[in-house]
Amino acid sequence: MFTPILYKKFTKLAVFFSILIFLNQCGLYKKTDAREVPTNAKERMQKNIEEGKSIKLSKIGRGGGSGKFEFASSNEMWRATIEILDFVPLTSADYGGGIVITDWYNDNAQPNESIKIMVQFLTNEIRADGLKVLVYDKICEKENLNNCQTSLNESSVSEEIKLAILKRASFFKKTSNKKRTKEYRKKNPVINKKMKPN
């Protein structure tokens, strides 16, 4: 004979086992072969992206990872690019993927001609070969603005944008270094006294 207390316990137990079976069927827990999982973190991340995997519940609450994250605001190349391209709306700005794409832009002088700029970061270092800038032209018929042709801009516009980004990034880096040096000297006055010549 079932008592109300026994019935409640039985119901809770049944619900618990149902949830366990459901989670097992969802694939949240899956055995893996260590030989198939890359040891390098970047390779693992790339593999997960290719397979379309997202956050895993088993990782929540763990203190995994290096604990160091470089925010976009501390990356001079990224900041410089966003500042240089502030005259045009952005359609995509993916810091993780290292790419910035603007919307089509025209200066209203020629309403049938517009440009789109794509900036790809190949490295975080401030170097000319660490940045790829592509400019696309869109020319539409004056009578029909829906009939357009798109092509890669072969002029020097992309080089001018790249140079402007590099100059601005160098300025940010120089300012940042000065600020860090000043803060370091404030925190370590004893070292500064030893380094000063008599």
Per-run averaged pLDDT (10 residues), the chain, 198 residues = 72 78 58 58 59 42 41 78 90 87 86 90 87 92 82 89 93 89 82 55
What tokens were used for 169? 């990034």
Residues 121 and 43 in one domain: no
DSSP 105: B
Q: Are residues 92 and 159 in the same domain?
A: yes
Say yes or no: 142 and 50 in one domain: no
What is the predicted pLDDT for the residue at 62? Answer: 41
Question: Do residues 94 and 161 share a domain?
Answer: yes
Specify whether 142 is located in the same domain as 81. Answer: yes
Side chain identity, residue 107: D
Q: Considering the domain boundaries, does residue 114 fall inside one? A: yes
What is the per-residue pLDDT for 108? 77
- Rounded to the nearest 5°, which phi and psi values hold at 23? -65, -35
My answer on whether 164 and 89 are in the same domain is yes
Q: CB of 90 within 8 A of CB of 100?
A: yes
The one-letter amino acid at 160: E
Residue 19 in domain = yes
In a domain, 144, yes or no: yes
In a domain, 196, yes or no: no
Q: How far apart are CA 154 and CA 158, in angstroms?
A: 8
List for the chain the helix, strand, coil content (%; round to 5): 45, 15, 40
Residue 155 domain flag:
yes
Instruction: Note whether 102 and 90 are within 8 A (CB).
Output: yes
169 & 76 share domain: yes
Q: Do 127 and 45 fall within a single domain?
A: no
- H-type helices in the chain, by residue range? 4-26, 41-50, 76-84, 157-187, 189-195
In this structure, is residue 77 part of a structural domain?
Answer: yes
Both 48 and 89 in one domain: the answer is no
Is residue 84 within 8 Å of 173, Cβ to Cβ?
no
User: Max CA-CA distance within the chain?
Assistant: 97
Total domains, the chain: 2
Q: Domain range spanning residue 131?
A: 72-177
pLDDT of residue 61: 40
In a domain, 60, yes or no: no
Q: What is the pLDDT of residue 37?
A: 58
Tell me what pLDDT residue 196 has.
Answer: 56
* 108 and 40 part of one domain: no
- Burial group, residue 101, by CB count within 10 angstroms (0-12, 13-18, 19+): middle
Same domain for 76 and 134?
Answer: yes
Distance, in Å, from the CA atom of 123 to the CA atom of 150, rounded to the nearest integer, reads 28
Same domain? 88 vs 28: no
Do 103 and 88 form a contact (C-beta atoms < 8 A)?
yes
62 in a domain, yes or no?
A: no
